Amino acid sequence: MINSQLPYTMITRNTQSYLLLPWLLLTCLTVEAQTIIKQDSLLIEQGVAGTNDFDDLSRKLILAHDDDGRPLEILTESFTDGEWRPRRKVTLSYEQGRISNTLIQVWNPLTETFQDSRERILTYGPNNQLLSRVDRQAPSPGEALVNDQQWLHTYDDDEQLLLSVLQAWDGGSWEDLRRRTYAYNANGQLIEQVAQVWAANDWRNLQRRSMSYDPMHFGMTVALGQQWSPEEQSWVNVQRMTYTYNAQNNWSSEVTQVWDQDNEAWVSDHRQLFTMGPQGQFEGRVRQVWEDDQWRSQFRGAQTFNGQLLNIQFEGWQEDTQSWENHSRHFLHYGADGRLALSQGWERWNSSSEQWENDLDTRRYRFFWSALITATEETPIINNCRVPNPYLSGQVISCNLPNADASYTLELFDLLGRRIYRATFTAGEDARIDRSFPQGTYVLRIRQNDKIYHLQQLLTF
């Protein structure tokens, strides 16, 4: 097992896309003004299928931090043949608090040295919006890094993303590959995404996604997916998702339909029904499929949180017994100080022995936190809004803000610091995030110009 002399800290787990916890930027967590907790390492264990046992799999050791506790050098080791062996090293640098360069090196056991493998270079605008990302890679181990791909992003005056272009390096210059354009309504809500590919010296349509919103509570009501037909020279329907809300304007259902081209009609495929608690917090969902002209239950999931243990559990519908049976679960345990201590899952239910046990891909991530160090800047806790956490797309965010007629900006960032959502609202309105994102951990910020009124980590489902 793990060497107790090593200063282990935070551990993360990608729980099969249901709960994504990118661990890198959680290594510097502010807990009070002028103090932070820095991370030393990460331990990942692999479940032994059919048991409740775990074996060491890999670990990440943070070898160096900057003055703000951010990681500068991360060593990844694998547990092989009874010993820890180096596998990869990541070196990071920052610009205005955001990652600007990531160098990945892989271990060469023949030379017993690390060799450059990939590099990512990020640049930002004056308002911290991501402007470009350049990926470089070594053609083979030990060779010099060369350009591979780059992403270029363009924004409007309201800092809304308008255009993302992907280019590939052909040895002497950058060549266009794909691009995505974005359009917004007067409320700053995304209403269209168009994906195009560069071919025959022209941009050619591929896919389009169009969104509609309720004019009263601004929640998304329809998301329409289409693909371009070169033969018909028009957009052809593919998929439609319809959203409904309860009396509290919280998301209550999501229905997915597919387009029947022969009959030119929408056909139901599956739906999810959501249940909310009295404070608008997400509590559970039921997934049903459309079969034989009726909805048939397939899975249902629920989550409970007692302040320290977040348990996410799914049950499967059994047609033969007409009842629900345990299927899978994932849980996260937080310490008394609120920091994540353990992430484990997914476990499968063994109906024969009537107990939970590991599956082939069950993982356990242990989070350990190091001593406090002094931060270079004071970072007070800012909390002027009541936000359901974990958060489900479309739920109401209630804020106590000054200047009732003033406009405020709601922003969501991933844990790489990239802004992935932006909306505006006035103090007298209920705010909400009306788009769905991959399940995981994000950072929510609400501001008026440069003044921040709310800042918190947010779990989404």
- What pLDDT score does 23 carry? 37
Are 315 and 340 spatial neighbours (Cβ–Cβ below 8 Å)?
no
Name which of 78, 71, 18, 13 is nearest 341 in CA terms.
13
Query: For the ranges 100-104, 222-226, 353-357, 366-370, which has the lowest average pLDDT?
Result: 366-370
More confident residue, 425 or 258: 258
pLDDT tens-place string over residues 107-130: 999 999 999 999 999 999 988 889
More confident residue, 127 or 47: 47
pLDDT tens-place string over residues 328-341: 999 998 876 667 78
What average pLDDT does range 415-421 have in this prediction? 71
What average pLDDT does range 405-422 have in this prediction? 79
Assess if residue 3 is contained within a domain: no
pLDDT-derived band at 370 (thresholds 50, 70, 90) equals: low
pLDDT-derived band at 86 (thresholds 50, 70, 90) equals: very high
- What pLDDT score does 445 carry? 85
Within 10 A of 262 (CB to CB), how many other CB atoms are there?
A: 6
- What pLDDT score does 380 carry? 47
- What pLDDT score does 417 carry? 63
pLDDT tens-place string over residues 187-219: 888 999 999 999 999 999 999 999 999 887 778
pLDDT-derived band at 26 (thresholds 50, 70, 90) equals: very low
Assess if residue 7 is contained within a domain: no
> pLDDT exceeding 90 applies to what percent of the chain?
54
Query: For the ranges 99-113, 215-229, 369-383, which has the lowest average pLDDT?
Result: 369-383
For residue 150, which phi and psi values (nearest 5 degrees)?
Answer: -145, 150
Assess if residue 266 is contained within a domain: yes
- What pLDDT score does 423 carry? 86
What's the mean per-residue pLDDT of the chain? 84
Assess if residue 5 is contained within a domain: no
Assess if residue 6 is contained within a domain: no
Tokens of 272: 């999810």
More confident residue, 443 or 57: 57
3-state per-residue secondary structure call for the chain: CCCCCCCCCCCCCEECCCEECCCHHHHEEEEECCEEEECCEEEEEEECCCCCCEEEEEEEEEEEECCCCCEEEEEEEEEECCEEEEEEEEEEEEECCEEEEEEEEEEECCCCEEEEEEEEEEEECCCCCEEEEEEEECCCCCCCCEEEEEEEEEECCCCCEEEEEEEEECCCCEEEEEEEEEEECCCCCEEEEEEEEEECCEEEEEEEEEEEECCCCCCEEEEEEEEEECCCCEEEEEEEEEEEECCCCCEEEEEEEEEECCCCEEEEEEEEEEEECCCCCEEEEEEEEEECCEEEEEEEEEEEECCCEEEEEEEEEECCCCEEEEEEEEEEEECCCCCEEEEEEEEEEECCCCEEEEEEEEEEEECCCCCEEECCCCCCCCECEECCCCECCCCEEEECCCCCCCEEEEEEECCCCCEEEEEEEECCCCEECCCCCCCEEEEEEEEECCEEEEEEEEEEC
Q: What angle do CA 104, 110, 112 make, to 5 degrees?
A: 55
Assess if residue 334 is contained within a domain: yes
Assess if residue 4 is contained within a domain: no
pTM for the model: 0.75
Domain interval for residue 308: 14-460
- What pLDDT score does 307 carry? 78
Q: How many domains does the chain have?
A: 1
Assess if residue 23 is contained within a domain: yes
- What pLDDT score does 378 carry? 42
